[in-house]
Amino acid sequence: MGLCLLSIAYSAQQRQWSCGFDNVQVPYQRQNEEIDDVIYKMRNQILKQGSNTPAKTVANKTVNGVYEIPVVVHVIAPTGASLGTAYNKTDAQIQAWLDHCNQMYAGTYQWLQGVPADFGTAAIMPIKLVLAKRDPNCNPTTGIVRYNGGTISGYDTYGVKMNTSSGATTAQVRALAPHWPEASYFNIYIINKVDGGGQYGIMGWAGLPQNPNASFESFMKSFVVTLQDDITLAHEFGHSMGLLHTFGNANSSPPAGTTSTDYCPLQTNNNCNRDDDGVCDTERSRSLLSDFPTPTNADMNYCTNSNYQGVQYNMMNYSNPIAYKFTDGQHDRSALYFFALRGALSTSLGATAPSTSTPIGTPVAACTPSGLVNAATEDFLVGPTLVKLGNINNASTGVWTYAPNYYEDYTGANCLKATSTELAINQTQSIQVNVTDSNNSVRVWIDYNNNGTFETSELVATEDNIAIDPVTLIGTFNGTFTAPSSTVMNTPLRMRVIVDYQNSNITPCGQLQWGQAEDYTVKFVTNLSTIDAKFSDNDDFIIYPNPTTAHQDIFIKTKNAKNIKVTITDMAGRLIETPSVKDEMNGTFRVNHHLLKGVYMVKVSNGKDTKASKLIVN
């Protein structure tokens, strides 16, 4: 009982000014409001036009239905702090901390005291934070990097300063431990103290996804890493996905038990999509930072003049319950903001082990679009937000203030992005391009003859007015093409993907209105396999290439080519995934897997019989 009370005391202490989000967001308040306005106008325009048929939204890169986000943890230890001590937590402790956060997102975390009787259901947030396995230079890494913070004056004694004049600035910490590329990793800084406090005061903070790269990060105290039932990481990464405090911009520390509505968030727009936290299923409420015990659903919420409906248990509130949760509305908002503004993290290869495969090369140079008619500061987020073709799987952000490039060349070798692929000649290829907002047009060219010019005959996919889902603001274009017999073989070729807004006269090298062009590398080959795919007398099916590498498609050739289903398990028989299968004709099937390095069993079923074969992923 003493330990339980100690945990409760620490949790209560932790919640006192636990989040420094409001402090760090002040410089970006105007930009945040502008992005909110853009997204709100987009959604209203789509609904007004009647384009409310949900678009087919396909996961960027999921493992068992969860988006894996590569994380690098920068541990800023004070001088002389031994590994495993209060200010220098071990790798195992940090991994357990991430695991607990992921369980909170999955709704499976086991709270020490269970959940209240009126807790309700926790929404599942399909996010998994995974320590990086390759660094920006493509070398193996644990995803945890340690630095001596004592080299910064005042750090050992005061840590990072936020509301005082003593200690290190965040800029000094970042200079000591530079960000890894924000499009490929989420950067977490574990620090010893804030304003001199190690076990009280502000416990952490993080920026919204619309922040500039230099401020898209999270700082958290070492204390919270091993604190029982701590929600700091889940709460702060919630901000990084676009979630606000449930009490909006209202006073975060009202008097305990107050019935005054002066501490309720203002209703400026009288619209739940705009007021408070911009989420409609988190009812209007004040902060409950100082309320002990936490109210139940039998208690009055004076901001709504009715009983509480669960906001007191919300992960983004300031409150002190024994368990926390997210709502379905928060799931939708985070998906919208995070994938619109930081979607590149969902296809980053940072969380996969370095590949030993040889890059397929860089294509010859070509023209570039001549510019934008409209300034990037308009923040319309126009451009390809996801491109998938073969092994290409690359999410990005359309043009906006903090990503103003109207042209991105992804053809160079880059171990952090899946931006090149080999394709089998004489086979129909499927390409997917996602967009944000309505009235977007898509064009795709491939320089089949490798002369550095995109000719009219090399336009392989085109579509105008892509349908948009009004909840996610994602539209999906799916096209097919077959390379001509005159295609230059076994040579890296340039593919250009352009998305523009209200521009049906797109040319590969002309001026864009609002959008963006992206270049990728494709190579057409006679056979994708690295072995001769022939049956022996005893084979019912074969898998090739085998061994393979992470993020390289595998193929199954089977004698019974009807209605096959593929499941992949580990060697202990645990289900890893049920991948999608595409019929490539003549008994050959492409398997779009998301396997990491390891040894697996691939099971192929035709409804009557099931056969299995070992697959090695290097």
Query: What is 61-243+327-348's CATH number, 3.40.390.10, 3.40.50.740, 3.40.50.10490, 3.40.50.720?
Result: 3.40.390.10
As given in the structure block, the two tokens for residue 9 are 């005391």
Query: For residue 380, which of 396, 404, 345 has the smallest C-alpha distance?
Result: 404
Domain boundaries, the chain: 61-243+327-348, 244-325, 358-525, 541-617
State the pLDDT at residue 3. Answer: 24
CA distance 515 to 407: 9
Q: Is 30's pLDDT higher than 50? A: yes
pLDDT in tens, 459-497: 999 999 998 887 778 899 999 999 999 999 999 999 999
Tell me phi and psi for residue 500, to 5 degrees.
-140, 160
Report the topology of domain 541-617: Immunoglobulin-like (2.60.40)
State the pLDDT at residue 433. Answer: 96
CB–CB of 227/199 below 8 Å?
no
CA distance 104 to 19: 18
Q: What is the mean pLDDT of residues 596-613?
A: 77
Cα 133 to Cα 75, 213, 360, 385, 416: the distances in Å are 17, 22, 22, 25, 11
Same fold, 61-243+327-348 and 358-525: no
pLDDT in tens, 2-18: 223 222 333 433 444 45
Local confidence band at 378 (pLDDT 50, 70, 90 cut-offs): low
Measured on CA atoms in the order 445, 447, 452, 454, is the torsion positive or negative? negative
Q: Is 531's pLDDT higher than 60? A: no
Local confidence band at 559 (pLDDT 50, 70, 90 cut-offs): low
CA distance 443 to 420: 18
Q: Is 418's pLDDT higher than 60? A: yes
Report the topology of domain 358-525: Immunoglobulin-like (2.60.40)
Q: Is 536's pLDDT higher than 70? A: no
* 117 CB-near residues (< 8 Å, 6+ apart): none
Q: Is 53's pLDDT higher than 80? A: no
State the pLDDT at residue 43. Answer: 59
CA distance 394 to 408: 12
CA atoms within 13 A on the CB side of 259: 5
Tell me phi and psi for residue 564, to 5 degrees.
-85, 150
Q: Is 572's pLDDT higher than 80? A: no
State the pLDDT at residue 107. Answer: 93
pLDDT in tens, 202-247: 899 998 998 888 889 999 999 999 999 999 999 999 999 999 999 9
Q: At what angle do helices 328-342 and 29-49 cross, to 10 degrees?
A: 110
Q: Is 601's pLDDT higher than 90? A: no
